[in-house]
Chain A
Amino acid sequence: MLGMWTFLITEVLFFGGMFAAYAVYRNMYPDAFASTSKFMDVVLGGTNTAVLICSSLTMVLAVRAAQLSKRAHLILFLILTMIFGTIFLVIKGFEYHSKWVEHLVPGFDFQYDEPRYQHNAQILFFLYFAMTGMHALHMVIGLGLLTFLLVQAKRRIFNENYFAPVEMIGLYWHFVDIVWIFLFPLLYLIGHRR
């Protein structure tokens, strides 16, 4: 368990590098930043936040079920968590797709409708993709880990004396949720009234 926490600290600083870059560029180009927020879909972003929070709830319930040796509940909640996680990724996919269609992916024929922000907006969109992309990657890994848990749960590995893997992957899943809790306001909300 301590190992997992240590690993999460590493993850905090991994994302931290990008958050630092975000802070710097947001401070440097506030107007360009404000202008990009019109492309951020608050409704989709908000929905995704809610979806992730739900998945966190089902995850913690799964851990609880494991602690209580309720295998059926454990499997149910794991599946629910995975469904929420998948919904999140699907919505994210739609968002990415619309950015792609609007030529807002840096490095791939990036076109911005306000020429004065063309360059700086590219950096901010890169940060958007880097941060959410890295987050999505963690989600995918998380889904893989949940699948592994599911298989083990089916094999009746877990009981009230042995559920550490469920707990650890739970911690990981909540951490990924926390990252999104910060990404949502920073990328979607701040500046969309400027």
Chain B
Amino acid sequence: MPASLTLLLADLQLFPPAASAQAGPIDDLYWFEIIVSAIMTVLIFAAVILFAWKYRRRANVRATQIEGSNVLETTWSIIPFLIMLIMFWWGAKLFFAAQNPPKDAMEVFVTGKQWMWKVQYPDGSHEINALHVPVGQPVKLTMASEDVIHSFSIPAFRVRHDVVPGHYDSLWFTATKPGRYRLYCTEYCGNAHASMSGWVEVLNDRDYANWAGGGSHGSLAEQGQQLFEQNGCSTCHLLDQQGRCPILRGVYNKPVQLDDGRTVIADDSYIRESILDPNAKVVSGFQPNIMPNFKGQLSEEQVIQLIAFVKSLSPPTPASQQGGQQRPVVIAPKAKAPAKAPAASAPQQ
């Protein structure tokens, strides 16, 4: 017994490692909350114990009837409220900062399915329940779910985001300490929910370069290109001349005019939707119901490969790197130049 007890205690952890850029600031807030809570708890416990003992029932001492006090009530409403305002503001500020990844973030794709995490890298390598990232480099995870809601969580980085089927979710972090950290699914997703966990390996630059060495199947974009041809996409989406469907070169992250007059950005989510449910948002000037529905035909991983291929058709220029976050006014969409209905497209921007 004592032996096993020591074993247990040897593993005992009380506070998680902080291994990302956001972990420090979030821990600061966490400690602030702990200190405030501790002070409040101690005060209340002390007051309860003090009053209970000092005014304990005695033979001929009577309670003094007190109505209450508006001054006191106001004080102990406003002071906690002000402290809570600090927490609110602080928490919101950190939350806002976690919303948008830096422009130079490395992109990694994560697909959750019952019951594993599949990770794909731009260079075409992939792994299950493991994620390798270089230290000091912002990493953006683009995440999709094949089935139910999962939640991707790396406690040491203090990051977590649900992965809801039907669209992409994302989170980002910058790992700051080389090492191995656990990753989990924290949204209950069925029978083997517990086994949907693994390791994040944060590597220093040299180790990362060694690890990233071999993608034998070609890059993600090349894998996407294969799919593009195998599935017959290339028969309509011609690469250099107008076919029955829009040219995809240069489309990525650019505004696209739709047939109902709206404009959307051709980002990951839009391209994903256009593959799985092509009729949902048809580009202006093209016929609906031409492209087959690939829902159920392609896995989320394959969709990610296709998106990488489409992305590779728009080589990053300084302008297009900015483009995703800006208003869609400036750039005239190339892709919408339609063969069939030229009149509809020109004047509206």
**Contact between A and B in the complex (any CB pair below 8 Å):** yes
Pairwise interchain contact A115-B289, C-beta atoms closer than 8 A: yes
Q: Is A154 an interface residue (CB 8 A)?
A: no
Docked complex: B250-306 residues within 8 A CB-CB of A: 260, 277, 279-280, 282, 288-289
Q: How far is the CA of A119 from the CA of B293 in the complex (A)?
A: 11
Contacts of A117 in B (CB 8 A): 279
Look across to chain A and name the residue whose beta carbon is closest to the beta carbon of B282. A116
Q: How far is the CA of A120 from the CA of B281 in the complex (A)?
A: 12
Q: How far is the CA of A31 from the CA of B262 in the complex (A)?
A: 11
Q: How far is the CA of A119 from the CA of B295 in the complex (A)?
A: 12
Q: How far is the CA of A31 from the CA of B261 in the complex (A)?
A: 11
Pairwise interchain contact B277-A31, C-beta atoms closer than 8 A: no
Look across to chain B and name the residue whose beta carbon is closest to the beta carbon of A29. B280
Pairwise interchain contact A31-B289, C-beta atoms closer than 8 A: no
Q: How far is the CA of A124 from the CA of B279 in the complex (A)?
A: 17
Could you say which of B260, B279, B282 has the most chain A C-beta atoms within 10 Å of its C-beta? Answer: B279
Pairwise interchain contact B288-A116, C-beta atoms closer than 8 A: yes
Could you say which of B260, B280, B282 has the most chain A C-beta atoms within 10 Å of its C-beta? Answer: B280
Q: Which of B260, B277, B282 contacts A119 (CB 8 A)?
A: B277
Look across to chain A and name the residue whose beta carbon is closest to the beta carbon of B281. A31
0 or 1 for each of B193-207: is its CB under 8 Å from A? (1 = yes): 000000000000000
Expressed in whole angstroms, the minimum distance between the Cβ of B260 and any Cβ of chain A is 6
Q: Which of A31, A115, A120 contacts B260 (CB 8 A)?
A: A31
Q: Count contacts on B: residues with CB < 8 A to the other chain.
A: 7
Look across to chain B and name the residue whose beta carbon is closest to the beta carbon of A34. B260
Look across to chain A and name the residue whose beta carbon is closest to the beta carbon of B278. A116
Look across to chain A and name the residue whose beta carbon is closest to the beta carbon of B259. A31
Q: How far is the CA of A107 from the CA of B340 in the complex (A)?
A: 38
Expressed in whole angstroms, the minimum distance between the Cβ of A31 and any Cβ of chain B is 6
Expressed in whole angstroms, the minimum distance between the Cβ of A148 and any Cβ of chain B is 46
Q: How far is the CA of A120 from the CA of B279 in the complex (A)?
A: 11
Contacts of A116 in B (CB 8 A): 279-280, 282, 288-289
Expressed in whole angstroms, the minimum distance between the Cβ of A29 and any Cβ of chain B is 8
Look across to chain B and name the residue whose beta carbon is closest to the beta carbon of A115. B289
Look across to chain B and name the residue whose beta carbon is closest to the beta carbon of A117. B279
Contacts of A31 in B (CB 8 A): 260
Expressed in whole angstroms, the minimum distance between the Cβ of A191 and any Cβ of chain B is 13
Contacts of A115 in B (CB 8 A): 279, 289
Q: How far is the CA of A185 from the CA of B280 in the complex (A)?
A: 25
Q: How far is the CA of A117 from the CA of B289 in the complex (A)?
A: 10
Look across to chain A and name the residue whose beta carbon is closest to the beta carbon of B288. A116
Docked complex: A82-128 residues within 8 A CB-CB of B: 115-117, 119-120
Could you say which of A31, A119, A120 has the most chain B C-beta atoms within 10 Å of its C-beta? Answer: A31
Docked complex: B211-267 residues within 8 A CB-CB of A: 260
Contacts of B260 in A (CB 8 A): 31
0 or 1 for each of A113-151: is its CB under 8 Å from B? (1 = yes): 001110110000000000000000000000000000000
Contacts of B277 in A (CB 8 A): 119
Q: How far is the CA of A120 from the CA of B277 in the complex (A)?
A: 11
Expressed in whole angstroms, the minimum distance between the Cβ of B295 and any Cβ of chain A is 9
Look across to chain B and name the residue whose beta carbon is closest to the beta carbon of A194. B260
0 or 1 for each of A13-40: is its CB under 8 Å from B? (1 = yes): 0000000000000000001000000000
Contacts of B282 in A (CB 8 A): 116
Contacts of A119 in B (CB 8 A): 277
Contacts of B289 in A (CB 8 A): 115-116
Q: How far is the CA of A31 from the CA of B289 in the complex (A)?
A: 15
Contacts of A120 in B (CB 8 A): 280
Query: Which B residues are within 8 Å of any A CB, using their own CB?
Result: 260, 277, 279-280, 282, 288-289
Q: A115-B279, A116-B282 are in contact. List 9 more A-B contacts (CB 8 A).
A: A31-B260, A115-B289, A116-B279, A116-B280, A116-B288, A116-B289, A117-B279, A119-B277, A120-B280
Query: Which A residues are within 8 Å of any B CB, using their own CB?
Result: 31, 115-117, 119-120
Question: Can you list 11 A-B pairs with a CB-CB distance of less than 8 A?
Answer: A31-B260, A115-B279, A115-B289, A116-B279, A116-B280, A116-B282, A116-B288, A116-B289, A117-B279, A119-B277, A120-B280
For the complex of A and B, list the 4 residue pairs with the smallest distance between their C-beta atoms, beginning with the closest: A116-B279, A116-B288, A115-B289, A31-B260
